[in-house]
Amino acid sequence: MSILVVGSVAFDSVKTPFGEVNEVLGGSGTYFSTSASYFAGIKLVAVVGTDFPDEHIEKLESHNIDLEGLTKVEGKTFRWKGRYDFDLNQAHTLDTQLNVFSDFDPVIPEEYRKSPFVFLANIDPELQHKVLDQVEAPKLVACDTMNFWIEGKPDALRALLKRVDICVINEGEAREFAGEASLVKAANKILAEGPRCLIVKRGEYGALMFNGDSIFSAPAYPLEDIFDPTGAGDSFAGGLMGYLANTDDVSDANIRKAIIFGTVMASFNVEAFSLDRLGSLTLEEIRDRYAEIKRLTHFEEL
Amino acid sequence: MSILVVGSVAFDSVKTPFGEVNEVLGGSGTYFSTSASYFAGIKLVAVVGTDFPDEHIEKLESHNIDLEGLTKVEGKTFRWKGRYDFDLNQAHTLDTQLNVFSDFDPVIPEEYRKSPFVFLANIDPELQHKVLDQVEAPKLVACDTMNFWIEGKPDALRALLKRVDICVINEGEAREFAGEASLVKAANKILAEGPRCLIVKRGEYGALMFNGDSIFSAPAYPLEDIFDPTGAGDSFAGGLMGYLANTDDVSDANIRKAIIFGTVMASFNVEAFSLDRLGSLTLEEIRDRYAEIKRLTHFEEL
């Protein structure tokens, strides 16, 4: 099964305690697509400027990512500049240049419209609605969002939640959106808005999945060093959606496995800048880390 | 198997977003003993003042806690006053009156000295050493500590680590003690000081256990409301040590189960002030919550 993803393709400049890079390939669509490409066929809808080099196109194509939906328009590609200190859970944005992204109006190519799996990466919720208006009866829709939209377009976001199956969100943003200090109460409030499943990302503390009936607690993979957290959430979503599309099974038990694959992909991504690690994995490495996380969490029944 | 515990017995005054209490029974020795008493016989060494009421003695005795080592001396009992805001991971101390605790010099009764399991709750590491000087070849020694001793008596603490099997410590304190932002590196540094097992408490994010060969990631039990976090760490240690003593099995697999029992006991403790919940549990409630945590973390192998 294939996945349609709509998100950003960008140039990132990042400084962490371990080094820095300048204008490397990034963006939510890039991280999601690369991560999910190990599991399923990806159709990417995004926009870049005329400064976007062929080598990046080739890099994405080498992962069999379908780029018919990647539009190149006159102008400069979206740029993000940020810094992480030793508290690697917290990104400090230094500069954002939307450039061609500021006029982004996603048009879904005809052949993409029947995609059974749809991922709406973190963009303006009004654009997320426009994407859903163009697709035909997808089997599963998931979305991400962020505090910027929670504060700026809460009504569009609330309406979007009625149209998605899975919402993926950061812990602090879940609390902010629901106006609840208790995460369990916040999750129940968000579920009441529509999605059947809420996945709360907690950075180095893993993830929690709520579906109204049960809660699943997933650990993070303990790394000696988190080299660069940029794209961790999108890589997580890529592993999650990739595995669901690969198995074409959206049961609760399979969503739990998919969350662990998300954890695996995020853990590889943060080991290096840009796609340096995420872009060069083997299926064996992915499976081995899944098995490691199984051992990490194992304890016997009574 | 029985457990010798040395810690504090105190009057706590606590304010949380859910209510407040004045001079209720608290202290690390109290929380640990009550929690562990569901699993094993407890011998408590601590000191109280002449203001300590009989009803508290009876409360502890009702849990079959051996109080031969609880000394009552002229003066006032240790008092702690604190506040928690909505970030319930962080206690704000408003007042500490050591009172009789300031001259505490633990003397281990003759019948306690052969206790196979020893828990050194969070007190001056020099006193923790004095306790170990008085016991005879215990099977397993565990200790807790805090930033106050890490900063004030690092050498005594470092020497203590060579004499204990298990060290239980908060996440921030592990990082501070090791001088490492990376928790995995911090854990390896602490293990190099002596203990064969390090258990890092992460509050609402659960716990990590490091033993040099493997890491175990335990979740927290997701509660709608954390009513009062006071004593959570000591209740955790009580469930941990209680289960180890109950089963007389200190294998890695059994330590993992014991950590889950610690998680269970801490989760009950934070549901109410003082011993209001921790002090009135049934074994069935404890087992049921263990099983719930098993389901909470379950995902299938590949």
pLDDT tens digits, residue range A128-144? 999 999 999 999 999 99
Tell me the pLDDT tens digit for each residue of A74-121: 999 999 999 998 777 788 999 999 999 999 999 999 999 999 999 999
Bridge partners of residue B142, in order along the sequence: B119, B166
Which chain B residue's Cα is nearest to A261? B302
For residue A86, what pLDDT is reported?
A: 79
Q: State the pairing for strand pair B91-97/B2-6.
A: unpaired
Q: Which residues of chain A does B256 touch, with a Cβ-Cβ cutoff of 8 Å?
A: 298-300
CA distances from B194 to A203, B117, B146 (A): 30, 18, 18
Give B237-288 as a 3 state SS string.
HHHHHHHHHHHCCCCHHHHHHHHHHHHHHHHHHCCCCCCCCHHHCCHHHHHH
- Contact between A301 and B294 using a beta-carbon 8 Å cutoff: yes
For residue B77, what pLDDT is reported?
A: 98
Give CA–CA dist A163/A145, Å, rounded: 14
- Contact between A302 and B295 using a beta-carbon 8 Å cutoff: no
Q: Quick check: B127 and B104 in contact, CB under 8 A? A: yes
Give CA–CA dist A36/A241, Å, rounded: 7
- Contact between B17 and A290 using a beta-carbon 8 Å cutoff: no
Which chain B residue's Cα is nearest to A205? B205
CA distances from A136 to A114, A140, A250, B145, B165 (A): 5, 11, 18, 59, 61
Q: Which residues of chain B does A17 touch, with a Cβ-Cβ cutoff of 8 Å?
A: 181
Interface test with B, best of A217, A226, A267, A290 (most B CBs within 10 A): A217
Q: Which residues of chain B does A302 touch, with a Cβ-Cβ cutoff of 8 Å?
A: 257, 287, 290-291
Q: What is the DSSP annotation of B142-201?
A: EEE--HHHHHH-HHHHHHHHTT-SEEEEEHHHHHHHHT-SSHHHHHHHHHTTS-SEEEEE
- Chain B: nearest CA to A190, how far in angstroms? 14
Q: Which residues of chain A does B201 touch, with a Cβ-Cβ cutoff of 8 Å?
A: none
Which chain B residue's Cα is nearest to A259? B299
Q: Quick check: A278 and A235 in contact, CB under 8 A? A: yes
Give CA–CA dist B281/B290, Å, rounded: 13
Which chain A residue's Cα is nearest to B217? A297
Partner residue opposite B290 with nearest CB, options A181, A260, A302: A302
Does domain B2-297 match CATH 3.40.50.10490?
no
Interface test with A, best of B202, B217, B246, B252 (most A CBs within 10 A): B217
Tell me the pLDDT tens digit for each residue of A134-180: 999 999 999 999 999 999 999 999 999 999 999 999 999 999 999 99
Q: Which residues of chain A does B86 touch, with a Cβ-Cβ cutoff of 8 Å?
A: 181
- Contact between B302 and A291 using a beta-carbon 8 Å cutoff: yes
CA distances from B290 to B156, B268, B283 (A): 36, 11, 11
Q: Quick check: A7 and A48 in contact, CB under 8 A? A: no
Q: Could you tell me which residues of chain A have a Cβ less than 8 Å from any Cβ in chain B?
A: 17, 86, 181-185, 202, 204-206, 208, 214-220, 222-226, 253, 256-257, 259-260, 287, 290-291, 294-302
Q: Quick check: A123 and A7 in contact, CB under 8 A? A: yes
For residue B4, what pLDDT is reported?
A: 98
Q: Which residues of chain B does A296 touch, with a Cβ-Cβ cutoff of 8 Å?
A: 214-217
Interface test with A, best of B39, B294, B297 (most A CBs within 10 A): B297
Domain boundaries, chain A: 2-297
Q: State the pairing for strand pair A166-170/A197-201.
A: parallel
For residue A89, what pLDDT is reported?
A: 76
User: Looking at residue B38, what DSSP letter applies?
Assistant: T
Which chain B residue's Cα is nearest to A206? B205
Task: Tell me the whole-structure pTM to 2 decimals.
Answer: 0.97
Give CA–CA dist B48/B63, Å, rounded: 18
Tell me the pLDDT tens digit for each residue of A235-288: 999 999 999 999 999 999 999 999 999 999 999 999 999 999 999 999 999 999
Chain center to CA of A60: 16
pLDDT tens over chain B, length 302 residues: 999 999 999 999 999 999 999 999 999 999 999 999 999 999 999 999 999 999 999 999 999 999 999 999 999 999 999 999 877 778 899 999 999 999 999 999 999 999 999 999 999 999 999 999 999 999 999 999 999 999 999 999 999 999 999 999 999 999 999 999 999 999 999 999 999 999 999 999 999 999 999 999 999 999 999 999 999 999 999 999 999 999 999 999 999 999 999 999 999 999 999 999 999 999 999 999 999 999 999 999 99
- Contact between B253 and A299 using a beta-carbon 8 Å cutoff: yes
Neighbours of B97 (CB within 10 A): 15
What ipTM was predicted for this assembly?
0.95
Label residue A58 exposed, middle or buried (CB < 10 Å: 0-12, 13-18, 19+).
exposed
Q: Quick check: B121 and B234 in contact, CB under 8 A? A: yes
Q: Could you tell me which residues of chain B have a Cβ less than 8 Å from any Cβ in chain A?
A: 17, 86, 181-185, 202, 204-206, 208, 214-220, 222-226, 253, 256-257, 259-260, 287, 290-291, 294-302
SS3 state of residue A170: strand
- Contact between A257 and B214 using a beta-carbon 8 Å cutoff: no
Length, in residues, of chain A:
302
Proportion of chain A above pLDDT 70, given as a percent: 100
Q: Quick check: A35 and A278 in contact, CB under 8 A? A: yes
- Contact between B299 and A300 using a beta-carbon 8 Å cutoff: no
- Contact between A222 and B208 using a beta-carbon 8 Å cutoff: yes
Give CA–CA dist B86/B38, Å, rounded: 31
Question: Two tokens at A37?
Answer: 């490409």
- Chain B: nearest CA to A10, how far in angstroms? 29
